[in-house]
Amino acid sequence: MSRLVLTLEALEALKSTFASHDEETCALLFGRAVEVGGRLARIVVREVWYPKDDAYLKRSPVAAQLRPEVVAWAAQRSRKTGESVVFAHSHPMEFNSFSKTDDDGEARLKAFLDRRTAGTIHAALVISPSAMKARILGTEVDLRILGVGPTLQISDSPARDIDNELFDRQIRLFGTLGQQVLSRLRVGIVGAGGTGNPICQELAHLGVSRFLLIDPDTVERSNLNRLVGAGPRDVGARKVDVTARLIHSINPNANVETSATSVLLAAHAMELADVDIAFCCTDSQGSRAVLNQLAYQFLVPTIDMGVAIVANGEKVSRIVGRAQMLAPGLGCLVCGNLLNPEAVRVDLLTEFERRADPYIVGAHEPAPSVISLNSTMASIAVTMFLSAVAGIPAKARLVNYNAVNGTMRPGAIPPHSGCYVCAREGSLARAGEWPLPARLI
Ligand SMILES: [Zn+2]
Ligand SMILES: [Zn+2]
């Protein structure tokens, strides 16, 4: 299902503004439609505009209509900027769907906008005290509403049958509703190696059934010490295929799409605009930089993780792990000073530029990697995911693990005002208005 996405802060503000009026209330949301593979993946809302009282033609507890000049202004803006307009209104009387009046009004709006803003997708959103619904303007095509912040607010959609017996022990923790959310989400995993592979295993056991796996690498013999479900016969196979097989061994009905590509290429990174939440399980600084910005720019909440084993010669001095959620309201990897600009620069060079670059000497020495440490951080990341989507009370959105001391500590990275990634002046919710810091070729 395509999505209508806005920051959790904007969604909460919209709901509380609507709730503060006994009369129907309108708002216009401006954002950008993002297509993946030729179909709408999401509309990313960047701005919410609230009409003043005199912008209404009529307004009562059961109806509200904006003046034609307000609609004409919105159409004009959309025509100039290419933005999508989301026509939002409240149903204070607890009518949890679009009404016949809404259908008729939207049909007229759609006809008007089709003439003024041909080719641009617009949407409608209705919020009642206990539900919210969105659809492509003037159609029956529903959109999933996502409010993205440290937690995800996800609109209701037709309940799926879930296997109460299979999931009995976890439903006792996060309820049938939490289990239904897991079964509906499409989850992106970037990197199907040391941490991405055990994350997929855990997600499949939890009942996640829709996956997008991205990793360009094939299995080498030296990977077999830490790839769950892989054996000697898999050497040479694509990591995404080995991990897809692992998921299917747990849930034969899972929908697993694989992409043996690199998110260093903008076109492949953009496939993630069609997931609800992502895990960043790559060990490259370049792909981290791309996913960091994609998380905020396209409002794709992402849980990033890594393990570092630092050795000076023979002696290991540090064994540390980090799991961190990247979403509006939480500081990004740039705010946390967690990206090495030179390493990012080198990762984002094209092959041609790489050969010509005088500063790259030889290949990297492979880093140590051990299954127990990877799995520890994978589990922390999955628990963070459960907290964000299914409401289990695990509050930390940054966890630092120190294996040498045996400690696990929560942390927090405040978002820096003016950050070019996570601040509003930066890439936040700009979607296709800005390019991603990824390669085009
Ligand atoms: Zn209505
Ligand atoms: Zn930032």
pLDDT of amino acid 361: 55
Q: How much is the pTM?
A: 0.96
Residue with tokens 């996060």: 174
Cα-to-centroid distance, 107 and ligand 1 (Å): 13
Compute φ and ψ for 174, nearest 5 degrees.
Answer: -120, 15
Ligand 2 centroid to residue 293 C-alpha, Å: 9
**C-alpha 89 – ligand 1 centre gap (Å):** 6
Rounded to the nearest angstrom, the distance between the alpha carbon of 317 and the centre of ligand 1 is 63
Helices (H), 207-330: 239-250, 266-269, 285-297
Give distance in angstroms: CA of 149 to centre of ligand 2: 14
pLDDT number for residue 159: 63
Is 425 strand, coil or helix? coil
Residue 386 has what pLDDT? Answer: 98
Q: 255 φ, ψ to 5°?
A: -100, 105
Distance 422 CA to ligand 2 centre (A): 4
Nearest Cα residue to 248 out of 200, 214, 185, 280? 200
Query: Cα separation of 191 and 174, whole Å?
Result: 28
What local confidence, expressed as pLDDT, does residue 55 receive?
A: 97
pLDDT of residue 362: 53
CA gap 408, 401 in Å, rounded: 4
Of the listed ligands, the closest to the CA of 103 is: 1
243 three-class SS: helix
Amino acid 94: pLDDT? 76
- Write down the pLDDT at residue 157: 65
The Å distance, Cα 64 to ligand 1 centre, comes to 8
Identify the nearest ligand to the CA of 426 by its number.
Answer: 2
Mean pLDDT by 10 residues, the chain (441 residues): 97 97 97 97 98 96 94 98 98 88 96 96 96 96 97 80 91 91 96 96 97 97 95 98 98 97 95 98 94 98 94 86 97 95 86 73 73 97 97 96 97 96 98 93 81
Ligand that lies nearest to the alpha carbon of residue 64, given by its number in the listed order: 1
Q: State which H helix or E strand residue 57 sits in.
A: strand 56-60
Classify residue 12 by its DSSP letter: H
- The alpha carbon of 419 and the centre of ligand 2 are apart by a number of angstroms equal to 5
Distance 128 CA to ligand 1 centre (A): 9
Within 8 A by CB and 6+ apart from 232, the residues are 221, 224
Distance 325 CA to ligand 2 centre (A): 12
Look at the block and give the residue holding tokens 């179909």.
39
And the tokens for 9? 């802060």
d(CA 160, CA 178): 12
Those residues whose beta carbon sits under 5 angstroms from the ion ligand 1 are 99, 102
What pLDDT was estimated at residue 214? 98
**What is the reported pLDDT for 350?**
82
Q: How much is the pLDDT for 161?
A: 80
Kindly give the interhelix angle for 196-206 and 371-390, rounded to the nearest 10 degrees: 40
Contact of 41 with 34, CB cutoff 8 Å: yes
